[in-house]
Amino acid sequence: MIITRQKKISEILDTIKTKNNVFLVGCTLCATVCKTGGEKELKNLAEFLKKEGKRVTGWVILDPACNLLQVKKLKRDRAKEIEASDIILSLACGGGTQAIAEIFDNKKVSPANDTLFQGEITELTLKKARFEEKCSLCGECLLDETAGMCPVSLCPKGLMNGPCGGVKNKKCEVSDELDCAWVLIYERLKKRNELEQIKKIRGPRDYSRLKKPQKLELK
Ligand code: SF4
Ligand code: SF4
pLDDT in tens, 1-53: 999 999 999 999 999 999 999 999 999 999 999 999 999 999 999 999 999 99
Closest listed ligand to the CA of 143: 1
Q: Is 149 in the pocket of ligand 2 (CB under 6 A)?
A: no
User: Which is nearest to 97 in space by CA: 113, 82, 75, 81?
Assistant: 113
d(CA 4, CA 147): 28
Task: Calculate how far, in angstroms, residue 158's C-alpha sits from the geometric centre of ligand 2.
Answer: 8
Residue 27 is predicted with a pLDDT of: 98
Domain parsing of the chain, residue ranges: 2-117, 138-210
Task: Write down the mean pLDDT value for the chain.
Answer: 96
pLDDT in tens, 57-94: 999 999 999 999 999 999 999 999 999 999 999 999 99
User: Is the confidence at residue 191, as pLDDT, over 90?
Assistant: yes
Residue 36 is predicted with a pLDDT of: 97
The CATH number given to 2-117 is 3.40.50.2300
pLDDT band for position 127 (cuts 50, 70, 90): confident
Strands 55-62 and 21-27: parallel
Residue to mutate (ligand 2; options 174, 175, 176, 185; most atoms within 8 A of CB): 174
- Please give the helix or strand (H or E) that residue 14 lies within, else none: helix 9-15
CB burial class (10 A; 0-12, 13-18, 19+) of residue 114?
Answer: middle
Q: Report angle CA 22, 27, 33 to the nearest 5 degrees.
A: 125
Closest listed ligand to the CA of 168: 2
pLDDT band for position 123 (cuts 50, 70, 90): very high
Q: Is 166 in the pocket of ligand 2 (CB under 6 A)?
A: yes
